[in-house]
Amino acid sequence: MGKKRILVLGANGYIGQNLLPALIKQGHMITAATRQLDWARAQNWPNTPCCYVDLLAAKTLNNIMTNIDIVYFLVHSMAANNNLIEQECLAALNVKNVLKHSQVKQVIYLSALQNHCCHSQHLMARKLTGEILRESKISLTEILAPIIIGAGSAPYEIIRDMTYNLFILTTPRWVRSKSCPIALENMLYYLTQLISHPTNEHRILDAGGPEYIDYQTLFKRFMQTSGKYRPLIQLPIPIRLISIQFISLITSVSPSITKRLIQGLQHNLPANDQALKQLIPQKLLSVDEAIKQAFIHSPNAINKADWGSDTILKTKWCDKYSYYPKDAGVTLTTRATSQTIWQIVQQIGDKKGYFYANILWQLRALIDDLMLNKVKYGRPIRKELYLGDMIDSWKVINIKPGHQLTLLFGMKAPGLGRLPFTIKYCGKYRTLDVRAWWHMLPVFQD
C-alpha cells in the first residue's frame, strides 16, 4: 500500500480522534481539519499539520484539498439544537463544491445504517449527505455503520451511564429494536483498509458486528460484563415524551446528541455486510468482547491533552467516572491585553482569593477540614505559577503562559474535576473563558 496524502474532516470527533493515530501509524501524510484547532494541536500527533475548517463557512475550505489523494468525511452536527438537516446539507454542499475542482481520488464517508420507515432527523441527514457528496463525481465510498461499542462512543456511554446511575432500568420502547453493534477496533480497521481498495465508482457498504440483537439484550450483556445488575422493566413510553432534562441527569453525553441517537433507535437496523466482509476480511469481535475492550480503554479519558501530564493524576482516576465531563462556566470579553489578563489569572489564591464568592470557597474548605481531608492553605509567594504548584487544595496540572492555566480540584467530592482559565486572542478583543469540567461518579456505586 503506497503512502497517501489524506485529509480528515472532523478530526476532533469520536471516530476522527481514534482514526488519526491509526492512519499515522500506517505512514500516511495526514492533515487534520477541525473547528477545535487549539485542541487538535495539543494532541501532538506526529508530522500531522492541523488546520481550522468550518464546513458551514465555505471560505475556510479554500485550498484545503490541494495535493490531497483521499478525504475522510467524518463530520456530523449531532449536537446542533436546531436545523440539523439544513446544517448537514450545507456542510456537504460546501465540500462537494471544493471536491469538484480538486484532484482528490477518493472520498470515504462514515454514515449510518438506514431504515426506510424511520424519520429520524439524524438518519435522514446522514442519507442526504451521502447523496450530495456523490454529486461531486469523485468516487465516494459510503460506510453505513451501526452503533459503535468503544470507550467514548456516545451510544455505549449512554448505556453505561444509564446502568450506573439508575437503580431500576425503566426502559422505553426503543429497547425492543434490533441492531448489529460493531466494536470500535473493527470499525477503524474497515476505515483504514479502504485505502488499499480504491474504486472508480460510488459504492455503499453496510458495516456490522457478528450479532443481531435488541438493545435490551445489549443492556443485559453490559450488566454481565460490568457486574452491575439492574432490574430491567419496559415501559410503553413514546420517544417524544422522553424529557431531555431527565436524560441530561442520567448521562454525561450531550442531551441533544442523546435525544437524536435515541430517535434513530426506534426501528430495526439490520446490516447486509457481506460485501464489506468479503472486501476487507477480519475477525469481528462479539458484543461481550467489544464491551471488555471498552472497559480496558476507559481510563484513556484522562490521557487527553486537556488534563496535562501530571504523573499523580492517573492514580486519581476511577473507572467508574463518567467518560465525558459535565461543564459549567462563563466567557468574558475584554480589550485588556493577553499579558494583563495572564498576570491577573496568576494571582488566584492570593490575598484577593478566588475572584468570586470567596466566602463560599472558605466554607467549602472548612467542610473539607471537618471531613479530615486537611486542606493545605496557601500558595507560592512568587507571582508566577508553575506546574505542580499548590493553591490551597488546587494543583496546577497544565500551564501555557499567556494562554491557559488548568487547576486540578483537590477537595473531597464524588468525581474528578479541573478548572481551566483560557485566554484567546480575537483581534481587537480578548476572551477569558473560566470553565469547570467534572467527571461524575455514578449514583449507585455497588
Q: Report the CATH number that the domain containing residue 127 is assigned in CATH.
A: 3.40.50.720
- Are 250 and 165 within 8 A, CB to CB? yes
Residue 366 lies in a domain: yes
441 alpha-carbon distance from chain centroid: 19
* Domain of residue 376, CATH code: 3.30.530
Helix axes 215-226, 287-297, angle to 10 degrees: 50
Q: What does the alpha-carbon distance between residue 111 and residue 94 come to, in Å, rounded to a whole number?
A: 18
422 has a pLDDT exceeding 90:
yes
Domain, as residue range, for 256: 5-301
255 has a pLDDT exceeding 90:
no
Give the E-state strand segments of 302-428 in sequence order.
326-334, 390-391, 394-400, 404-408, 415-426
Residue 197 lies in a domain: yes
Between residues 243 and 183, the one the model is more confident about: 183
Is the domain of 264 the same as that of 396? no
What is the pLDDT averaged over residues 317-343? 90
- Of 58-62, 252-256, 260-264, 321-325, give the lowest mean pLDDT range: 260-264
What is the pLDDT averaged over residues 157-171? 84
Read off the C-alpha cell for 185: 477496533
Is the domain of 329 the same as that of 220? no
pLDDT at 433: 94
- Which domain-ending residue is among 284, 301, 318? 301
Tens-digit pLDDT profile for residues 269-297: 899 999 999 999 999 999 999 999 998 88
* Neighbour-count burial of 326, counting CB atoms closer than 10 A to its CB (0-12 exposed, 13-18 middle, 19+ buried): middle
Encoded amino acid at 388, one letter: G
- Of 256-265, 363-372, 398-407, give the lowest mean pLDDT range: 256-265
Is the domain of 97 the same as that of 132? yes
- Of 50-59, 101-110, 327-336, 361-370, give the lowest mean pLDDT range: 361-370
- Are 31 and 71 within 8 A, CB to CB? no
Is the domain of 194 the same as that of 279? yes
* Neighbour-count burial of 95, counting CB atoms closer than 10 A to its CB (0-12 exposed, 13-18 middle, 19+ buried): buried
Is the domain of 25 the same as that of 134? yes
Is the domain of 240 the same as that of 370? no
Confidence of residue 366 (pLDDT cuts 50, 70, 90): confident
Mean of per-residue pLDDT scores for the chain:
88
Residue 120 lies in a domain: yes
3-state secondary structure of 356: coil
- Of 37-51, 170-184, 384-398, give the lowest mean pLDDT range: 170-184
Is the domain of 330 the same as that of 344? yes
Confidence of residue 241 (pLDDT cuts 50, 70, 90): low
Is the domain of 42 the same as that of 139? yes
User: Which of 296, 140, 110, 100 has the alpha carbon at shortest distance from 206?
Assistant: 110
Compute the half-sphere exposure of residue 388: CA atoms within 13 Å on the CB side of its CA. 2
**Radius of gyration of the chain from its Cα atoms, rounded to whole angstroms:** 23
Helix axes 184-193, 287-297, angle to 10 degrees: 90
Residue 429 lies in a domain: yes
Residue 446 lies in a domain: no
The number of residues in the chain equals: 446
What is the pLDDT averaged over residues 18-37? 94
C-alpha dist (Å) from residue 295 to 273, 288, 292, 442: 26, 11, 5, 15
- Which domain-ending residue is among 268, 286, 301? 301
- Are 329 and 434 within 8 A, CB to CB? yes
User: Which of 397, 369, 377 has the alpha carbon at shortest distance from 385?
Assistant: 397
Q: Please state the domain count of the chain.
A: 2
- Are 409 and 419 within 8 A, CB to CB? yes
Is the domain of 257 the same as that of 314? no
pLDDT at 236: 66
Residue 16 lies in a domain: yes
pLDDT at 72: 98
Is the domain of 352 the same as that of 231? no
- Are 146 and 238 within 8 A, CB to CB? no
Tens-digit pLDDT profile for residues 175-223: 778 899 999 999 999 999 999 999 999 999 999 999 999 888 998 999 9
Is the domain of 64 the same as that of 108? yes
238 has a pLDDT exceeding 80:
no
Q: What does the alpha-carbon distance between residue 385 and residue 21 come to, in Å, rounded to a whole number?
A: 33
* Neighbour-count burial of 245, counting CB atoms closer than 10 A to its CB (0-12 exposed, 13-18 middle, 19+ buried): exposed
End-to-end CA distance of the chain: 49
Confidence of residue 244 (pLDDT cuts 50, 70, 90): low
Residue 445 lies in a domain: no
Residue 30 lies in a domain: yes
User: By percentage, how much of the chain surpasses pLDDT 70?
Assistant: 94
| pTM for the model | 0.89
Encoded amino acid at 176, one letter: R
What is the pLDDT averaged over residues 382-410? 91
pLDDT at 445: 63
- Which domain-ending residue is among 301, 324, 352? 301
Q: What does the alpha-carbon distance between residue 236 and residue 223 come to, in Å, rounded to a whole number?
A: 22
Containing H/E element for 342? helix 338-345
Read off the C-alpha cell for 348: 488566584
Q: What does the alpha-carbon distance between residue 157 and residue 68 come to, in Å, rounded to a whole number?
A: 34
Is the domain of 254 the same as that of 337? no
